[in-house]
Amino acid sequence: MTSLAARLARPEILSLPPVDIAAQANDAFGADAIKLDANENPYAPLVEGSLAATVNRYPEPQPASLRRAMAALYGVAPESLVVTRGADDAIDILVRTFCREGRDAVSICPPTFSAYAQFARLQGARVVEAPLTATFDFDADAFLAAMGEVADLKLAFLCSPNNPTGNPIAPADVIRVAEALPDAIVVLDEAYIEFSELESLAAEAARRDNLVVLRTLSKAYGLAGARVGCAIGTAELIQLIARALPPYPLPTLSIQAALASLSPSRRSVHAERIERLKRERARVAGLLATSPIARNVRSGGGNFLFFEVDDPADLEAKLTALGIRVRFRPNAAPGGVRLSIGTEAENAVALAALGVTTGDQPARRGEVVRDTKETQVAVAVNLDAAGPRRIDTGIPFYDHMLDQVAAHGGFALTLACQGDLDIDGHHSVEDCAIALGQTLRQALADRRGIGRFGFALPMDEAEAQVLIDLSGRPYSVFEGDFAASHIGAYPTEMTPHVFRSLADSLGAAIHVKVSGANDHHKTEACFKAFGRALRQAVARDGEALPSTKGVL
């Protein structure tokens, strides 16, 4: 039986030889294969360092490992997904697969993302507009009534959350539209879904023959410059649209960047960043509501806000003078402005230009990723928030210890490590300590306005004393010893090591003294006391640099 995709595809696409995506994978060859098949240059390019790695070779046409990683991320089988050069490219290949020039139509719901109409026009397809309501909502009844009149409708583009307005489309409405239009393919663009409360329809697209979902690593995963996205649909449809791809669409460096960013050690920091951007979106929207010039501020499901101003030219001049770029969207609404959510410091400058000033000091944050052959670590710290605390080193007792540091230190900590625990805990324990110290150092920046010194002296039968000077100079003293070799999977001998690593990477003098009977108590006392000492040392204390030398 012919699939819907094959019935709808252009004859030119059907006449191309089938693409066997799986057979294109380099999986079958080891890294040491002798490649004399592709007229590549055997020598690495003359660029420095990791950039040179393997770029003298062509990439896999459809990178198998990235395809698997993205399929796992979106909860579908690899056969249901084709990796594209950004979601933009997926729009292009869909249009080129299905739309015959001068005959077929696509529908769009303006105001919306401009690429749908752009690629359709390039292909010579008709663009039928079915506008959103006055409040930018999707009205399924009105949409279906309008589509009833359209001949040769091939692709119906729906964007949820919508760019530039942020409005979501209820998944039930998307399904309803797909059911009502069995001879067209509904393309649901979920480029911003990570920032919304919507449920993805990716798994639904993998089984429903007239639904395709688009996803991208550009927005939620910070990879816009790498150009990595995908289309998700039935295996038959994916095979067909892959015929419209250029020979090697994804550059090796992009594949590598995407794979590194999707490694399991990055998951919790990605999640924390998305939460952070959503909180910041709500905060900026609240502040913008008090702006003397912004009206109708919409905080939808994207990493951006949409609002209107009376005098966009005046605002543009002001923003340009300050070096701030935003998108003006007069076609969406008169005086329409789309403002992306940036860092707290960036948002503060944009808000000031819109007439909103707050005394808020941006939070002191640090973010570090650290990869070696032995471990992959990602850490995020916010010294000015008590949460979240999410720690996964792979060693439960160590998780508990680092949690004590953050809890008693009064700061937010997200830390995840994928390490060689099959060997033992040594590398994971040490590398997490190094990365945590680096992250704290980054968050402290020039160390202006901190207490600098901290000490603590608590505990029951065990007694731990920790003294800290955030001097910028590493120095570590540890007095105490442990009888047991391990607490759970945690090697007790690592405790002095952890504090030395922290001292080195944070740039601090850390003196620890511990005594007592029970190793569990003693170890916990060290970490708790360190947290307490750190709390005092990083506490905000005016604006001054706490050093007579003028530098720390």
- Which residues contact ligand PLP (rule: CB under 6 A)? 86-88, 113, 159, 163, 189, 191, 216, 218, 224, 229
Indicate the residue among 113 and 307 with the shorter CB distance to ligand PLP: 113
Which residue has tokens 């911003």? 192
Indicate the residue among 224 and 386 with the shorter CB distance to ligand PLP: 224
In 208-295, which residue ranges form alpha helices assigned H by DSSP? 235-241, 252-261, 267-288
Question: Is the Cβ–Cβ distance between 132 and 163 less than 8 Å?
Answer: no
Which residue has tokens 């449809």? 237
What is the smallest separation between the CB atom of 182 and ligand PLP, expressed in angstroms?
25
Question: Is the Cβ–Cβ distance between 116 and 158 less than 8 Å?
Answer: no
Indicate the residue among 233 and 419 with the shorter CB distance to ligand PLP: 233
Indicate the residue among 191 and 440 with the shorter CB distance to ligand PLP: 191
What is the smallest separation between the CB atom of 211 and ligand PLP, expressed in angstroms?
16
Of 221, 237, 225, nearest to 76 by C-alpha is: 237
What is the smallest separation between the CB atom of 196 and ligand PLP, expressed in angstroms?
12
What is the smallest separation between the CB atom of 222 and ligand PLP, expressed in angstroms?
11
Q: Pairing state of beta strands 185-189 and 153-159?
A: parallel
What is the smallest separation between the CB atom of 490 and ligand PLP, expressed in angstroms?
42
Tell me how far apart the alpha carbons of residues 433 and 495 are, in angstroms, rounded to a whole number: 10
Q: At what angle do helices 312-321 and 344-353 cross, to 10 degrees?
A: 130
Question: Is the Cβ–Cβ distance between 262 and 69 less than 8 Å?
Answer: yes
Indicate the residue among 84 and 414 with the shorter CB distance to ligand PLP: 84
What is the smallest separation between the CB atom of 55 and ligand PLP, expressed in angstroms?
22
Indicate the residue among 218 and 501 with the shorter CB distance to ligand PLP: 218
Instruction: Provide the token pair at 140.
Output: 């399924």
Indicate the residue among 85 and 511 with the shorter CB distance to ligand PLP: 85
What is the smallest separation between the CB atom of 112 and ligand PLP, expressed in angstroms?
7
Instruction: Report the alpha-carbon angle 80-262-341, nearest 5.
Output: 100
Indicate the residue among 83 and 440 with the shorter CB distance to ligand PLP: 83
Which residue has tokens 């012919």? 2
Tell me how far apart the alpha carbons of residues 59 and 56 are, in angstroms, rounded to a whole number: 9
Give the contacts of 121 (CB within 8 A, at least 6 positions apart). 127
What is the smallest separation between the CB atom of 245 and ligand PLP, expressed in angstroms?
14
Indicate the residue among 9 and 214 with the shorter CB distance to ligand PLP: 214
What is the smallest separation between the CB atom of 88 and ligand PLP, expressed in angstroms?
3
Tell me how far apart the alpha carbons of residues 275 and 269 are, in angstroms, rounded to a whole number: 10
Which residue has tokens 């004859």? 11
What is the smallest separation between the CB atom of 198 and ligand PLP, expressed in angstroms?
13
Which residue has tokens 């909103």? 356
**Cis? peptide before 264, omega within 30° of 0:** no
Indicate the residue among 87 and 415 with the shorter CB distance to ligand PLP: 87
Question: Is the Cβ–Cβ distance between 489 and 425 less than 8 Å?
Answer: yes
What is the smallest separation between the CB atom of 219 and ligand PLP, expressed in angstroms?
6
Indicate the residue among 252 and 340 with the shorter CB distance to ligand PLP: 340
Residue 58 DSSP code: P
What is the smallest separation between the CB atom of 344 and ligand PLP, expressed in angstroms?
23
Indicate the residue among 159 and 468 with the shorter CB distance to ligand PLP: 159
Question: Is the Cβ–Cβ distance between 545 and 477 less than 8 Å?
Answer: no
Tell me how far apart the alpha carbons of residues 512 and 504 are, in angstroms, rounded to a whole number: 14
Give the contacts of 260 (CB within 8 A, at least 6 positions apart). 266, 371
Indicate the residue among 126 and 338 with the shorter CB distance to ligand PLP: 338
Residue 137 exposed, middle or buried by CB count within 10 Å (0-12, 13-18, 19+): middle
Three-state DSSP class for residue 295: strand
Tell me how far apart the alpha carbons of residues 193 and 205 are, in angstroms, rounded to a whole number: 15
What is the smallest separation between the CB atom of 202 and ligand PLP, expressed in angstroms?
15
Indicate the residue among 303 and 393 with the shorter CB distance to ligand PLP: 303
What is the smallest separation between the CB atom of 465 and ligand PLP, expressed in angstroms?
53
Task: Report the residue closest to ligand PLP, judged by CB.
Answer: 86
Give the contacts of 216 (CB within 8 A, at least 6 positions apart). 86, 87, 191, 228, 229, 230
Give the contacts of 233 (CB within 8 A, at least 6 positions apart). 5, 80, 205, 206, 209, 211, 212, 213, 241
Three-state DSSP class for residue 66: helix
Tell me how far apart the alpha carbons of residues 245 and 113 are, in angstroms, rounded to a whole number: 22
Instruction: Provide the token pair at 437.
Output: 């110290």
